[in-house]
A and B are shown apart, each in its own frame.
Chain A
Amino acid sequence: MAENNKLSDSELMLKVAGYDSKALEQLYDRYSPILYTLINRILNDKKIAEEVLSDVFVIIWKKIDQFEFKTNNVYTWLVTIARNKAINTLKRKKLNMAPKEDDEKYDDETILPKLSTLITPLNLEQILNNGDKVKETINSLTEAQRYVLELSYYEGLNENEIAKKLKIPLPTVKSKLLLALGILQQKLETEEVKNG
């Protein structure tokens, strides 16, 4: 366990790929706080958030062969899985549908992220240390931009659903979102925030 503590995320993932349970335990210790926080923000229910978090780790365990070791972006892979699973659970909850039973094909299509082949890896520790900067940047957006961004990221609404909910034209939703992303990209692009 102490050995694993010193390993980088990508080294840990390699061990998890060899079904090393202690490596998965270490990965859990490292990532469960950020993943749980994200899932709980989406679902707003601690009990369900815990269920979803455990599902996320089962998916990681079962689908580790689909992690791209060439690009090695552990952070974005895990955060996107957690977000997708939580949004999926939220949508099923809203529709009063039973939780999806283990369906590997379904997981492949809806939960596992299709990350870019040219994505650069991120550093978890650095990102957590710079959380305040990200918060500041998000707070610097206009209220409308922030709201549209939150509806999309935390509630999983697509552009059409946001337009319908806010009763505004679709192009307005798109422009607000694209502008918000542009500002975030501009302000957070510094390597300091992502990789140190």
Chain B
Amino acid sequence: MDNKKKIELLKLSAIGCINEDDQATLNSLMLEDENFPWNELGEFQNLAALIPSSLVIETPNWELKDKVARKLYNLRDEIKSQQKQKTTVEQPVETSDQLINESGEAISIEDSGLELTSADDIELPVEEKISNESVVEGEVELPQTNVKHSVDRELIERTTKDYIDSHFEKEIKSTQKNIKKSLLLSLILFVISLLLIVFMFFKFSGDLDSKQEEINVLKKRLGISHLQSSNKSINLI
């Protein structure tokens, strides 16, 4: 295939417009062709990725961030359940250099008087050999998957924990802020109302005193006029 045709294919592939057959051809070229135009492929992949920058950029709903976090959390559970299924298959068989005698006591192989024969020395029927081989293959593969998944699980657990912790931290911080704000506000309100009460107290007590004085003055006046009128009546008599 000439270079022009290759570039044509990679342009169509970069823009996502290539049909399945041409994509398969391109894939095999990428694997086999030593002179594959990788630079041009990169250039057109970058060019295609620039297209969305021409759109008016919108921001997704802020709640979506939490939704993504929840998805990661569910992912952890999923891996956990996968892990459980694996562990039932992967239960390690405990091996021991001891045998149990008829009375239930443990005795070493040397003491048992048995001769150990290597597995290769034992003649097995062909079917059994094959099944043994497949068992050995399975045993070799399983620990690898176990390690990978346990690492994944730990990492995802740690990550999800970090994420949740950071969210809780944020919430706690914002709640603490709110509490501080409301405390300050209530303190201010309390001081204002206290001042009002003190002001009212002094104002009313002042008023009361002046009224009391007025009453006393009036009473005095009334007493004097009463005396004067009684004197007058005595004089008349």
Residues of A at under 8 Å CB distance from B?
1, 19-22, 24-25, 28, 32-34, 36-38, 40-41, 49-50, 53-55, 57-58, 61-62, 71, 73, 75-76, 79-80, 83-84, 87, 102, 113-120, 122, 127-128, 130-132, 134-135, 138, 149, 152-153, 156-160, 162, 174, 177-178, 181, 184-185, 188, 193-194
Structural contact, B52 and A79, CB atoms closer than 8 A: yes
Chain B residues lying within 8 Å of A185, measured Cβ to Cβ, are: 43-44, 47
Which chain A positions have C-beta within 8 A of B17? Answer: 152-153, 157-159, 162, 177
Is B56 located at the chain interface by the 8 A CB criterion?
yes
Closest to A130 in B: B53
Query: Once bound together, how far apart are the Cα atoms of A78 and B116, in whole Å?
Result: 60
Whether the pair A53, B64 counts as a contact (CB closer than 8 A) is yes
- Assuming the contacts A37-B58, A38-B52, A76-B45, asked whether A116 and B39 have C-beta atoms less than 8 A apart, the reply is yes
**A37 engages B45 (CB within 8 Å):** no
Shortest Cβ gap from A153 to chain B (Å) = 6
Whether the Cβ atoms of B53 and A177 lie closer than 8 Å is no
Is A159 touching B59 in the complex (CB atoms < 8 A)? no
Asked if B107 is an interface residue, CB under 8 A from chain A, the answer is no
How far is B160's CA from A98's CA once the two chains are assembled, in angstroms? 28
**What's the least CB distance linking A57 to chain B, in Å?**
5
A25 to B167: give the CA distance in the assembly, Å. 11
9 intermolecular pairs with C-beta atoms under 8 Å apart: A21-B162, A33-B58, A34-B57, A37-B55, A83-B52, A118-B42, A128-B57, A130-B53, A181-B44
Q: CA separation between A75 and B155, bound complex, in Å?
A: 25
Chain B interface residues (CB < 8 Å from chain A): 8, 11-12, 14-20, 27, 30, 38-39, 41-61, 64-65, 67-69, 71-72, 75, 78, 155-156, 158-160, 162-163, 166
Closest B residue by C-beta to A180: B15
Q: Do A34 and B159 have beta carbons less than 8 Å apart?
A: no
Cα A174 to Cα B42 in complex, Å, equals: 20
Do A119 and B64 have beta carbons less than 8 Å apart? no
Bound-state CA distance A71–B42 (Å) is 10
Cβ A54 vs Cβ B71 within 8 A: yes
**Cβ–Cβ < 8 Å partners of B48 in chain A:** 80, 153
Determine the distance from Cα of A178 to Cα of B40 in the docked complex, in whole angstroms.
14
Task: Give Cα A28 to B60, complex, Å.
Answer: 11
Partner of B60, one of A50, A58, A134: A50
Task: Report which residue of B19, B60, B65, B162 has the largest number of chain A beta carbons within 10 angstroms of its beta carbon.
Answer: B60
